Amino acid sequence: MLLTANRNFRLLFSASAVSNLGDGISLLAFPWLATLITRDPVMIGAVAAAGRLPWLLFSIPAGVITDRTDRRRLMIQADLFRLFLTLGIVGVILSGPMLPLPESAPQAATLVLGLAAGAFLLGGAEVIRDNAAQTLLPRIVHSDELERANGQLWSVEQIMGQFIGPPLAGFLIALAIPIPFMADAATFAIAALCIWAIQTSTHRAPRMPEGFWRETSEGIRWLLDHRLILSFAILLGFMNMIGTAEITILVIYSQEILELSAANYGILLTAGAAGGVAGGLFCPAIIRRIGSASAITVALALFPVAPFLIWWTSSPYVVAVALFLQMFAALMWNIVTVSLRQRTIPDELLGRVNSLYRFFGWGMMPIGALLGGLIVSLGEPELGRIAAIRLPYLLTGVFSVVLLLSGIFLLRLPQQLRT
């Protein structure tokens, strides 16, 4: 097994586990904190958008930085930055007013702005760290083991990030609002220590043309020459846009339609984690059996199911099934596409091409977060509050069907994927 035979992978696995536990705590703690400050869906969407905006702004520079510097050291620096920033957020909460704030409180806009700024800075560090982590993996495991390694990493990320982290955050919030953020800070410290312990040869940056744009253009030319990977990036961008719109509104949906507490909302999110764990464990075997091309088609076909179910139901159990299917499909998509990139992109270009891929694939997420809030806000005067909260799921379900049809048409998958 990789975990027992490969010490470096074991350390990377451990760092991913503990770091994603912190991310899972943040997944609930940040939006829940926003709802304690305001019930305005646009302002809540703005906080979510701020956390994702760095993927649009910093993805391309992150690729150049990753290829220029030692990737292991970059991950340590990013985790330490997130540690101190999260401790700063704890300080702001402790020095601020009592929560929840009353409606129309004058401090609300200032507090939301500060929360959005913290989310933006944390997101910027996440861009650097995650890009470095994906480019470090091929230096730790053999090419033939990438699917298995990625499956194990995503399994533990789902277990810690959505299975354990959110319900833990719900219980910690019930104790005191700053506690989940203190726990989040501790996870960054432990993750940095695990990465520091990895023993691998120092990444020697290859000779690259001088200048940021010349270095970036090498990655752009490579991506433009590989239509399949570029198509995946564009499709992923739209999928992430609608997925972010859905998750942004889910915190309001859970409170006002499902009537869940913070702890129960955390438990609901574990259903998505269960789908991610199942995907990480079983999708590599499914992909080997049906082939990568068929696996991509199955994933695209599953994506519309979740938003339609959430739009239709008022049952937390049905929502749990929807989240399970959505994350299972996401893991199937990720295992195929990330393994393909890691196997295909030359090491000296891996950071830059990965960053460009994420620019397309993740840069749409802040747009999705804002769209989710705007759809509710614009729909509420005509439809009423409850119907307006449901509306984003109807629209994203329809758009997911469009993406399925587009994917079938555009991805007449070449021999590169017919494994």
Residue for token pair 């956390």: 51
CATH (one of 3.40.430.10, 3.40.50.450, 3.40.50.720, 1.20.1250.20) for 2-202+211-417: 1.20.1250.20
Share of the chain above pLDDT 70, in %: 94
Token duo for residue 114: 């500060």
- Please say whether the beta carbons of 316 and 27 come within 8 A: no
Residue 105: what residue type? A
pLDDT at residue 419 is higher than 50: no
How does pLDDT run across 366-412, given as a tens digit for each residue? 999 999 999 999 999 999 999 999 999 999 999 999 999 988 887 66
How does pLDDT run across 169-203, given as a tens digit for each residue? 888 888 888 999 999 999 999 999 999 999 876 55
Residue with the larger pLDDT of the pair 97 and 401: 401
Mean pLDDT computed over 236-248: 94
How does pLDDT run across 107-124, given as a tens digit for each residue? 888 898 999 999 999 989
Residue 419: what residue type? T
Give the CA radius of gyration of the chain. 21
Between CA 255 and CA 325 the distance in angstroms is: 22
Vertex 365: Cα angle to 360 and 367 (nearest 5): 105
Mean pLDDT computed over 29-43: 89
Distances (CA, A) of 248 to 41, 240, 365: 9, 12, 10
Q: Specify the range with the lowest mean pLDDT, choosing from 146-160, 313-327, 338-352.
A: 146-160
What pTM, to 2 d.p., does this model score? Answer: 0.80
